[in-house]
Amino acid sequence: MPAHEQFAEDLALHALGSLQGDERVALENHLEECANCRLELDQLRGDMALMALSAAGPRPPARSKQRLMSAIANEPRISARATVLPARRSWWRTATLGVTAAAALLILLLVRQDTNLIHQAQNLAQQVASLQNDSLTQQAELAKARQIVSALTSPDAQRITLVAAKNPPQPQGKAIYVRDHSSLIFLASNLPQLPAEKIYELWLIPQSGAPIAAGLFKPDSHGSATVVNPPLPAGVEAKTFVVTLEPEAGSHEAPRGTPVIAGQGE
């Protein structure tokens, strides 16, 4: 295996700004000698910057971003370090179970006391439930982060740039598609603002068969937009990706509106 391929996951984490310690030092030393990895890091930073600028919807709380970055930073590596991190997670699960069991025992004792103690037991039970809900939320955020990093670093990912047919600069789009995992990350820029009661719809055109709807979206005020992991059938080989202008509810079964940008798989 070429040396730079061993750094694929570290490059993604470094692009996110979450690689620290000896891993970051080792990667930066490698980058000084490896032009391929420097180019890959620049591409990852460009993709992630475009995602950050084009993300629509409410801004997530700062604590959510911190939990996500921490989760990615603590994710096990494919190396000897992997033997340490699972032990930490095992310790956390054991500690969590111990706290839960202790809380349950305390609640049992408090229920035998007067009304004030019963109220305290109920409050403690609510706190335990809240901690468990937070744990589930963090696990879900970690799973999403891992899926995005996996798609961005997969050697099987297709990188398709969508451009307008006339008069550049024009609307552009990039589709990163991993067929075997049905993963799709689509980034668009310079899209015209939508007319009333219209919406953009992304389509996956397979090598054979009918077009597959891959998500509805509206650009922000700068003309940027993203579509991340829409529901797609597994194992479909992509021939082309197309964005069309459709009625506000979308067409879903087949494109009916005007094509805006399109690009073929590499």
User: Quick check: is 73 in a domain?
Assistant: no
pLDDT in tens, 72-99: 565 555 443 333 333 333 334 434 444 4
- 164 and 260 co-located in one domain: yes
Residues 182 and 142 in one domain: no
Flag whether 76 is in a domain. no
Six token digits for residue 220: 């922000």
pLDDT at 61: 55
Residue 64: inside a domain, yes or no? Answer: no
Residue 105 lies in a domain: yes
- Count of domains for the chain: 3
Q: What is the pLDDT of residues 147-189, one digit of tens each?
A: 898 888 888 888 888 866 556 568 999 999 998 888 999 999 9
* Domain span at 95: 83-149
- Is it the case that residue 193 has pLDDT exceeding 60? yes
Q: How far is CA 120 from the centre of its chain?
A: 40
140 and 170 part of one domain = no
Q: What percent of the chain has pLDDT over 70?
A: 69
- By the 8 A CB rule, do 201 and 251 touch? yes
pLDDT of residue 74: 56
Say whether pLDDT at 127 is over 80: yes
Name which residue leads in pLDDT, 85 or 24: 24
Is 67 domain-assigned?
A: no
Query: Is residue 11 within 8 Å of residue 41, measured between CB atoms?
Result: yes
Q: Judge whether 77 lies within some domain.
A: no
Residue 50, helix vs strand vs coil: helix
Least confident piece of the model among 28-42, 82-96, 116-130, 234-248: 82-96
> pLDDT > 90: what percent of the chain?
27
Tokens of 159: 């990188």
- In CATH, what number is assigned to the domain containing residue 171? 2.60.40
Put simply, whether the predicted model's pTM sits higher than 0.75 gets the answer no
Average pLDDT over the chain reads 77
Domain end call among 149, 182, 203: 149
Of residues 122 and 215, more confidently modeled = 215
Residue 44 reports pLDDT greater than 60: yes
CA distances from 92 to 81, 97, 141, 266 (A): 17, 8, 17, 44
Whole-number pLDDT of residue 170: 84
